[in-house]
Amino acid sequence: MNDVTEQGKLDTLARDGFKAPIRWGIASAGLISSDFVNAIDISPYKADHEVVAVAARSQAKAEEFAKTFGIKKAYVGYERLAEDPDIDVVYVGTINIAHLDNCLMLINAGKSVLCEKPMGMNVKETKQVLEAAQAKNVFVMEAMWTRCNPLQLKIQEDIKNGVIGDVMQANVTFGGKMAADRIVKKDLGGGSLLVVGIYAIYVLQMAFGDEVPEKIIATGNKSSEGVDHSVSAILQYKNGKMGCFSLSTQIALANEAHIFGTDGQIKVGIPMWAPSHINIKGKELKINLPESKIKFNFLNSAALAFEAEHVRECLCNGLKQSYLVPHSITLTVAEIMENIRKQLGVEYPQDK
C-alpha cells in the first residue's frame, strides 16, 4: 500500500511500537461500514486491528455482515456495542441524522469513537459530541479519511515547506449522479453539502493551513425536498487568498483539486477525496492500493485503512483527539457548512 515513486517521502503513518491490536465495534452494516472493515482486512496493518463485533438494526443484517468478514459477534441495536467490554473503539457508519445520538450513547459508555462525517447535522450537534467527549475524556474523531491519506500528508508537508510558494488559490469539484435516499432526502440528512461538500471544504482548509475564512459567498439550487443538489462557493482568506468549490448530486464533475502557489501548483487526481496519485510541480507521486476479493462500494476505499491505523496510533499513545483531524478543525468545517446552508436557505429539523 505504501509503494511510492519518491523514496522515503510518502511513508505511511509511523509505526508506534505497540503490539496489541485495537478492538473495533462497527455501528451499522451499511456500505461504508463494509468498505471500512474490508480495507482493514486487506491492509498491511491487519494484525494491528481486530473487529470483534458489528451491530445493525436487524439481526439478519448483522449476522450477514459478520459472516462476510469473519466477525465473532453480531448484535441488534448499537447499545450492545456500548455494553461490550471487549471493544476499544466504535466506528459509526450510520446515516447523518443518527450520528449525534449514536456518538453520545457510546461516549457516555466510555467508548472511543470514529464517526463518519459529518459528525453532526449542524454546529450545535457537532459541539455536543465534542464537548461530551472532552467531559468523558474519551477519544473522538470525525472520519475524514482524506486527512489520513499519505498523499494528502505529502501535500500538507510541501505546502508548509513552501515547495509551491505561497498558496493563493485552490479549486475543488465533487459531483456525480447520486440517488440514494440518504443523499437526497431531507429527513435522512441528505444534501450535497453535508454528503460530499465536506470533503471539498476539508481540502480547501488543508490548502490554506486551516485558517478560518474571512468571508464566504455561496449560491446553489435546491431540490423539491428543500435540500441542496448543487452548490458553488468562494471562501476568502486573509491576504487575498481564495478557495472555490463546486458540488453536484445530479451530474459528474471533474472530482479533482488544484492548488495554486506563487511558485507552482499541485493537482490532486480523481478522486480528490481519496487520491492514489497527485502531481506536485510536474512530478507525479502515487500509492498502490491493494485489491480485494470483496468488491468495494466506493472508489479507492482501500485507503480507509490509513484512517484506521491513525486511530490506533492515537489510542495507543493516549490521545483524546486526532492531530490530523483535531476537534478545532471539525468545528471550523461545521461552521463553514452552516454558513453556506444559511445562504442557500437549507434548513433541517435539527436546526430548530
Please give the Cα distance from 9 to 284 (Å, whole number). 13
Please give the Cα distance from 193 to 223 (Å, whole number). 13
State residue 211's pLDDT score: 96
Q: Tell me which DSSP letter residue 4 carries.
A: -
Ordered structural domains, the chain, with CATH? 22-145 (3.40.50.720), 146-299+325-351 (3.30.360.10)
**Other beta carbons less than 10 A from residue 139's beta carbon:** 21
Per-position DSSP letters for 256-300, written without gaps between them: -EEEEETTEEEEEPSSTTS-SEEEETTEEEE-PPPP-SSPPSSTT
**Other beta carbons less than 10 A from residue 111's beta carbon:** 23
Bridging pattern class, strands 89-92 and 264-268? unpaired
Please give the Cα distance from 216 to 181 (Å, whole number). 29
State residue 13's pLDDT score: 35
Whose cell is 510541501? That residue is 158
Residues 6+ apart with CB under 8 A from 190: 96, 181, 182, 183, 184, 225, 227
Q: Is the pTM of this model over 0.85?
A: yes
Per-residue pLDDT tens listing for the chain (352 residues): 333 433 233 333 333 444 579 999 999 999 999 999 999 999 999 999 999 999 999 999 999 999 999 999 999 999 999 999 999 999 999 999 999 999 999 999 999 999 999 999 999 999 999 999 999 999 999 999 999 999 999 999 999 999 999 999 999 999 999 999 999 999 999 999 999 999 999 999 999 999 999 999 999 999 999 999 999 999 999 999 999 999 999 999 999 999 999 999 999 999 999 999 999 999 999 999 999 999 999 999 999 999 999 999 999 999 999 999 999 999 999 999 999 999 999 999 999 9
